[in-house]
Amino acid sequence: MLRTLLKWMVLSSFCLLLLALWKGKVLPPVAEVDSVLLNEPRQTQITQTAFTASKGGVTYKVQPLYDYDLVGLVVSKHDAKTWWDHLHRDWNDHLNIMDICVVWGKNISNGVYNDLSFSSGQFTCNIRANSAEAFAAFDQTALSNNHLLTDQPALVKLIQKVEIGDQIRLRGRLSEYAHDHGFPFKRGTSIVRTDTGNGACETIFVDSFEIIKSGSQPWRKLMWLAATMLIASIVGWFIQPVRFND
């Protein structure tokens, strides 16, 4: 009887986990988006000497170009530490800890973001429209793929908590950065929102990061509950004594 109950617990918690994982990445409706996300990014040119930052045993030279203040809805993200990301490892690029793709402005007010699908590659944010009308309504100048740089452990922890559907605000500096750790490496930044293709991403040395509002919070809590139930029921299944029929 107990083994039958555990079997159903395994199946139900697994299905619940899949549902929570899916719902946890659903973007919020327009009514739940803070009006501050209607604002455009603020960018101010600065004159600042280059400084050094160290991460992963590598010292980087960082050259700030502009102060930058961005609010947006996270529609896709890429963790540079994921197992299949070989380019950051090959290039000794430990300073770029996360990429987040965000939308704001008109793309929020008209709700078109919910008619699109977003995904991230190692250095890209990809968009797929469900219809020609949705693609035409989407303002490509109100989206950016942001390479986030920091050597501060507290900021690393905070940024790594961000999930798809979160509403965020970050302040930092659009920057170029480079190292000479075994080979010369240099990476630049976009300084306008109207460019596309290679080099169009914003590279930001982050000074502060805030999650204004988390998306799909109940589903995320349910995900952890379902995962705990699944693990507990699997363990319970395996520790049950095996009965042999005579």
Q: What is the pLDDT along the chain (246 residues), one digit of tens a residue?
A: 676 766 667 677 667 556 555 555 679 999 999 999 999 999 999 999 999 999 999 999 999 999 999 999 999 999 998 988 999 999 999 999 999 999 999 999 999 999 999 999 999 999 999 899 999 999 999 999 999 999 999 999 999 999 999 999 999 999 999 999 999 999 999 999 999 888 999 999 999 999 999 876 665 665 656 567 667 777 776 777 655 555
Residues 42-68 as b/e (b if ≥16 CB within 10 A, e otherwise) read ebeeeeeeeeebebeebebebbbbbbb
Cα of first residue to Cα of last residue in the chain, in angstroms, is 19
User: Beta strand 58-79 with 167-179: parallel, antiparallel or unpaired?
Assistant: antiparallel
Pair (169, 48) in one structural domain: yes
- pTM here is 0.84
- Domain identity same for 107 and 17: no
Count of structural domains, the chain: 2
pLDDT given for residue 221 in this prediction: 62
Q: Do 90 and 130 sit in the same domain of this protein?
A: yes
Residues 58 and 115 in one domain: yes
Domain extent at residue 245: 1-24+216-246
